[in-house]
Amino acid sequence: MQETQLGITEDAINRITQSGREPDWVQSLRRTAWQQFQTMDPPPPNHEEWRRLNIPDFRYQDLTLPFDSNGNGMPKEIQIVSNQPNEDPYGCTILQDNGKTVENTQSKDLPKGVIFETIQDAFRNHGDLLLPYLTEQGLTSDRDKLTALHFSLFNHGVFIYVPENTHVEMPLRFVNAISGQNSIHLPHVVVVLREGAQVNFVHDMTGERENGPIYNYGMVQFFLDEGAQMGYLSLHNWGDQVVDRTIQKAFLAGQARLNWTAYLGGTKSSKWNFEVDLLGEHANVAVNGAYKIKKKEHIDVYSRVRHRVPNTRGHVLVNGSANDSSKAMIQGLIEIEKGAQQTVTYLENHNLLLGKKCLVDSIPRLEILADDVKASHGVTLTDIDDEHIFYMMSRGIEKKDARRLIVDGFFRDILRRAETELFQKILAHALGMEVHDQ
């Protein structure tokens, strides 16, 4: 079977809903979003969140949406960095190639009531559980024009549901691979942890390295109920042909804990939003981001942590290196709402400049409406000190090895903060660090 390409039209909604035998509420969701997409203006160039991002011009009418992929044409150069040689440390893995599920290994050891399946299957099998998280809570299609497009036509992704007081011992993994010149991909991930539930989740995103541009507009949503705990590793390993805009957002109830680690590899152009709403007392989030860019790659990282009630904790740390003529924009916002006393929160960003023409711009912001809090931010931009290189060479270390050791050391804080040893191992591999360096 040859892969079908759909145009970005209302007829594509009909094809997707009919093929997936989607329930009426999904069809209604798509058509409402399509009307919003048709009437909304794109974000203005001077909008604070967008004005520093260089997104290549494109006409959505010229793009195609892969549909009914045969799943056998994954380019050989696609890199799946979460693969572990000689072992399978995952409880379950779902791998999708251009939206087609080509691997779905379901463990018999999953606790009763745990759901880990494609978003397409979840529409049919668990619509009652999924419905409120796509229509009433979380991200909605009226956010902006690109989000409306996403909700109109998204046709792959996964749904994770962990019942109350259930602990999933082995991590779950979703691999999303994309390819195809002038194609657009719209994955959607929803994770729901009920009260006291626990899970670790690896999300590996990768793209073709040769034929581009390829456009990805993805959504990821987490809902953690009272006392739930989650470790999350997201790997944005798209490659330099992909134009990426991914929004990831988490909602934490009281005493919930989220440890969120992300690797941001270089892309043609990338905008990555990670947003957290702390909704209950003693909710705690740690966000650990590592970016590594080179050549003419461009990334824009936008973080936003909202402390909406008293006694919450947050720490955002983004460390990254820029080489050659690459560019990075790191924007961070901490919001402490009125009445959110006893908040403790910190935002920090450290950048290592390795190229003479690279550019990094870091803009941290605090908006505080409570008077009994601990909130601060810090930013550093530095290069490799020649004296450090000289010192290491005087101890018999080759110059290239000395530079590598310094760069590896720069990312060590991020590695230490990752949730598990497996997460640390995968992240070290993504960053090009040797495992024994940990």
On the question of pLDDT at 210 being above 90, the answer is no
Report the distance separating Cα 384 and Cα 406, nearest Å: 8
On the question of pLDDT at 19 being above 70, the answer is yes
Report the distance separating Cα 6 and Cα 316, nearest Å: 40
For residues 69-97, average pLDDT: 76
pTM for this model (two decimals):
0.92
Q: pLDDT (tens digit, 9 = 90+) per residue, 313-352?
A: 999 999 999 999 999 999 999 999 999 999 999 999 999 9
DSSP H or E stretch at residue 177: strand 172-178
Strands of 253-394 (E only): list them.
257-265, 267-278, 284-293, 298-307, 313-322, 327-336, 344-353, 359-368, 374-382
- Residue 416 sits at φ, ψ, to 5 deg, of -65, -30
| pLDDT for 45 | 66
pLDDT confidence band for 57 (50 / 70 / 90): low
On the question of pLDDT at 389 being above 90, the answer is no
Helix (H, G, I), strand (E, B) or coil at 371: coil
For residues 48-55, average pLDDT: 60
Please state which of the ranges 84-93, 188-197, 366-375 shows the lowest mean pLDDT: 84-93
Cα dihedral angle (184, 136, 157, 50), rounded to 10 degrees?
A: 40
DSSP 61: G
Distances (CA, A) of 53 to 38, 294, 339, 350, 399: 23, 17, 34, 20, 35
Q: pLDDT (tens digit, 9 = 90+) per residue, 240-249?
A: 888 899 999 9
On the question of pLDDT at 1 being above 50, the answer is no
Higher pLDDT: 78 or 358? It is: 358
Exposed, middle or buried by CB within 10 Å (0-12, 13-18, 19+), for 101?
middle
| pLDDT for 223 | 98
Whether the CB-CB separation of 66 and 99 falls below 8 Å is answered with yes
Please state which of the ranges 33-42, 313-322, 366-375 shows the lowest mean pLDDT: 33-42
Six-digit token string for 423:
């997460």
| pLDDT for 79 | 75
Domain boundaries, the chain: 4-383+409-430
Six-digit token string for 210:
């040769």
For residues 357-383, average pLDDT: 95
On the question of pLDDT at 181 being above 90, the answer is no
